[in-house]
Amino acid sequence: MAVDLKGILSPFSALKQGVKPPHTVRFPREKKETAERYRGLHFNDLEECIGCGSCATICQNEAIDMIKIEGFETKDGDSGLRPRVDNGRCCWCALCVDVCPTGSLSLTKDYIYVTDDPNAFLWTPGVDNPDGKEKISFTSEEGKPLLDYQRIPMRELEGMERVKSFAEVVLGYDEEEARKEAARCVGCGICTEVCPVHMHIPEYIFAIGRGEDEAAIKIIYDNNPLGETCGKVCTRRCETVCAISKRGEPVAIRWLKRYATERANNADLIEEIVNPEILPPNGHSVGIIGAGPSGLTAAYYLSLRGFDVTIYEAKDKPGGMIMYGIPKYRLPLESIEKQVGYMQKMGVKIKYNTAVGKDITFNEIKEKHEAVLIGIGFEKPYELGINGEDAEGSIQAINFLRMVNSERPVDIGDKVVVVGGGNVAIDAARVSRRLGAEVTILYRRRVEDMPADWEEIEGAEDEGVVIHPQAIPLEILTDENNHVKAIKYANAEMIPDPNGGRPRPKIIEGDEHIIEVTAVIAAIGQGADYSFIPEDIMEKIETKRGRIVVNEKQQTSVPWIFASGDIANFRADAISAIADGYRAVKGIEELLLKKEK
């Protein structure tokens, strides 16, 4: 066999390698810089993180636990928890980083981490590496976002088209839009915490996203029988804390709820879909004063639990403030009637045109029922307290809205000034536009201080309402027939509060102006009227700043009397009223069923 000389000699050429420098890095004498996007240890910007837990959910190794750490408390929009990574399980895929909606989570440049602490593999990013910020390498900023930060826009009637009628402004999502919008949710549930009634938001959104609208409706009705109302007019605290809102537009929770609930377009269909369990009658009877959102909610769930419930309502229609206080272009009459119609099918009895204290006495109600829930709302408007207020053409916004909503004639002429900055003021202004008037809003503070929803404010502006901030009305001027002729106001400057509170408006001396008007609508707030409650009982009910004091189950200092809605909470919105009603059910149940045992 021939000798393969080349094959024997050529390997020896490797010897030349001996004189070349090695290509290895002699650590720690030499260091190797990591690449810009190296996926090293986790870092979390603890202040930015909201504890949504999306990182923990996506981690397929279940390497992340959400834990309580010192210095971070649970508050609105922040669970107070922070991720802790088990480096024994982590595979450094950085999916947690890519899905973190706030962008607080990242990976650092650390190649090597040496410690003598055997428990250090349990790693709380940001706590265990407070200096991690300087070493950040892999971030979600760099790539294309994995989450959808853009909201599916809501179709609306065009601004000047709207003022021609009371047609609903918001047109609602169609099926495809709803599915897409729902699919943006990360399901963290941060919203659930701030919702006064703790609706199962991620659950119903998920159902909508999957095309299971009926399941969504069922979930919504689990703790809110006025889901459709909320879907149209809720103040939606949930959206303000939505995890997606940190880097994008919050999920349109309200519009999704609206989409789902509107699918059931009559009371029979709601019944068919929700098909709730109704317990047999338990022999207990509850009287509810006021068919507003809190009273209706309590009545519905009490009925399902076998109570005999009667609502006493002074007016001829249900809904209270949502019927009379919210303009039809936001919440059509049929919608309320449909929702209440369903409740009546479930056994809720409503006596209309029955004003307590007039058509029936409070004591009579007391005789008839074992427990009474008062949910009368704030119906008594505050006065402006200026001269000329009682003139013809000077009206209170809620009276005005009520008249318009019940289709009674109101003459406001063609030039209206609305005083106030809350939702009621904006509603009054937008309704006035629809009645053909030019509208100016006078508001004491700055636009950004207005308590109204920003969407409502924008809506009003789109429709041609002029907002005049930092304007304080001084006097209403009248003509010889004692009819409103003009309003005199002064401009104000904002004085910072030395105690760090809201800046206060202060009149600028001499900067006074007069606007000619045909009507002045006052919308600076309302209070309650308790005159129907007999004095001896009222004496025993504890009140505070015009509101009735209740415990966490809405019970007053008189055990058989419960209170809910605007008279019992400071939030003055429908969803808080609904939450009160829901809580009152528990209180009443406990009171009456415990008595039995």
Note the residues at the interface with other proteins (CB under 8 A).
4, 6-8, 10-11, 13-14, 17, 23-24, 34-39, 54, 57-58, 60, 91-95, 98-99, 107, 137-138, 142-148, 182-187, 206, 209-210
Q: Pick one of other proteins, ligand SF4, none as the site partner of residue 498 (Cβ within 5 to 8 A by kind).
A: none
Closest separation in Å from C-beta 296 to other proteins:
33
* b (16+ CB within 10 A) / e for 380-405: bbeebebebbebebbbbbbbbbbebb
**Shortest gap between Cβ of 209 and other proteins (angstroms)?**
5
| Contact between residue 505 and residue 472 where contact means Cβ atoms under 8 Å apart | yes
* Residue 13 binds: one of ligand SF4, other proteins, none (C-beta under 5 to 8 A by kind): other proteins
Task: Say how many residues touch ligand SF4, by CB under 6 A.
Answer: 26
* Cα–Cα distance, 421 to 400 (Å, whole number): 16
- C-alpha–C-alpha distance, residues 229 and 332, integer Å: 9
188 vs 356, which CB is nearer to ligand SF4?
188
Whole-angstrom distance, CA of residue 436 vs CA of residue 162:
11
**Closest CB to other proteins among residues 14, 409:** 14
- Shortest approach of other proteins to residue 566 CB, angstroms? 37
Q: Which residue of 40, 41, 43, 52 would you call a contact of ligand SF4, by CB under 6 A?
A: 52
Q: Show the 3-state SS of 252-295.
A: CHHHHHHHHHHHCCCHHHHHHHHCCCCCCCCCCEEEEECCCHHH
* Sign, Cα dihedral of 453, 376, 267, 286: positive
- In contact, 443 and 420? CB cutoff 8 Å: yes
3-state DSSP assignment of residue 183: coil
Residue 127, contacted partner among ligand SF4, other proteins, none, CB below 5-8 A by kind: none
Nearer to other proteins, 2 or 114 (CB): 2
Q: Which of 40, 41, 84, 85 binds ligand SF4 (CB under 6 A)?
A: 85
Distance CA 380, CA 399 (A): 9
Interface with ligand SF4, residue 53, by CB under 6 A: yes
Rounded distance, CA 300 to CA 295, Å?
Answer: 9
Whole-number minimum distance, CB 206 to other proteins, in Å?
Answer: 7
Pick one of other proteins, ligand SF4, none as the site partner of residue 11 (Cβ within 5 to 8 A by kind): other proteins
Tokens of 107: 């990976």
Binding-site partner at residue 1 among other proteins, ligand SF4, none, CB < 5 to 8 Å by type: none
Question: Considering the complex, what minimum distance in angstroms separates the CB of residue 197 from ligand SF4?
Answer: 24
Among positions 41, 43, 59, 442, the unique one binding ligand SF4 when judged by CB under 6 A: 59
Judged by DSSP in three states, 581 sits in helix
Which region, judged by CB under 6 A, interacts with ligand SF4, from 50-58, 113-121, 146-154, 464-472?
50-58
Determine the distance from the C-alpha atom of residue 60 to the mean position of all C-alpha atoms in its chain, rounded to a whole number: 32
Indicate the Cα dihedral angle 109, 111, 115, 119, nearest 10°.
80
CA-CA distance, 251 to 244, in Å (whole number)?
Answer: 7
- C-alpha 305/C-alpha 303 separation (Å) is 5
Separation CA 592–CA 302 (nearest Å): 11
Cβ proximity to ligand SF4: between 85 and 331 the closer is 85
Binding segment for ligand SF4 among 11-19, 89-97, 250-258, 549-557 (CB under 6 A)? Answer: 89-97
104 touches ligand SF4 (CB under 6 A): yes
Stretch that binds ligand SF4, among 45-53, 315-323, 332-340, 360-368 (CB under 6 A): 45-53
50 binds ligand SF4 (CB under 6 A): yes
Question: Which segment (83-91, 413-421, 438-446, 496-504) binds ligand SF4 by CB under 6 A?
Answer: 83-91
Nearer to other proteins, 6 or 545 (CB): 6
**Smallest separation (angstroms) from ligand SF4 to the CB of 66:** 7
Q: How far apart are the C-alpha atoms of 225 and 229, rounded to whole Å?
A: 9
Q: Among residues 40, 41, 77, 96, which is the contact residue for ligand SF4, using CB under 6 A? A: 96
Least distance from C-beta 45 to ligand SF4, angstroms?
Answer: 8
What's the min distance (Å) between Cβ of 176 and ligand SF4? 29
Among 102, 129, 224, 229, interactor with ligand SF4 by CB under 6 A: 102
Q: Which is nearer to ligand SF4, 61 or 491 (CB)?
A: 61
Comparing CB distances to ligand SF4, the nearer of 125 and 292 is: 125
Answer with the entry of other proteins, ligand SF4, none that 595 interacts with (C-beta below 5 to 8 A by kind): none
Beta-bridge partners for 552: none
Do 50 and 77 touch, CB atoms closer than 8 A?
Answer: yes
64 counts as binding ligand SF4 under rule CB under 6 A: yes
Q: How far is the CB of 258 from other proteins (least distance, A)?
A: 20
How far is it, in rounded angstroms, from Cα 15 to Cα 455? 78
DSSP secondary structure of 357-417: TTTB-HHHHHHH-SEEEE-----EEPP--SBTTTSBTEEEHHHHHHHHHTT-----TTEEE
Which residues does residue 466 pair with via DSSP β-bridges, in sequence order?
A: 440
CA angle (283 as vertex; 281, 284 as ends), nearest 5: 110
Q: Is 106 near ligand SF4 (CB under 6 A)?
A: no
Our CB check for other proteins shows the closer of 112 and 171 to be 112
Q: How would DSSP label each residue in 288-328?
A: EE--SHHHHHHHHHHHHTT-EEEEE-SSSSS-THHHHTS-T
Residue closer to ligand SF4 by CB (options 83, 319) is 83
Indicate whether 100 belongs to the interface with ligand SF4 (CB under 6 A): yes
Q: Taking the complex as a whole, how short is the minimal distance between the CB of residue 224 and other proteins, in angstroms?
A: 23
Q: Does 55 bind ligand SF4 (CB under 6 A)?
A: yes
Cα→Cα distances 62→54, 59, 89, 146, 448, Å = 12, 5, 7, 20, 44
What is the Cα–Cα distance from 45 to 51, expressed in whole angstroms? 11
Distance in Å, CB of 253 to ligand SF4, minimum: 18
**How far apart, in whole angstroms, are the C-alpha atoms of residue 382 and residue 572?**
15
Q: Give me the residues that bind ligand SF4 (CB under 6 A), please.
A: 44, 49-55, 58-59, 61, 63-64, 83, 85, 90-96, 100, 102, 104-105
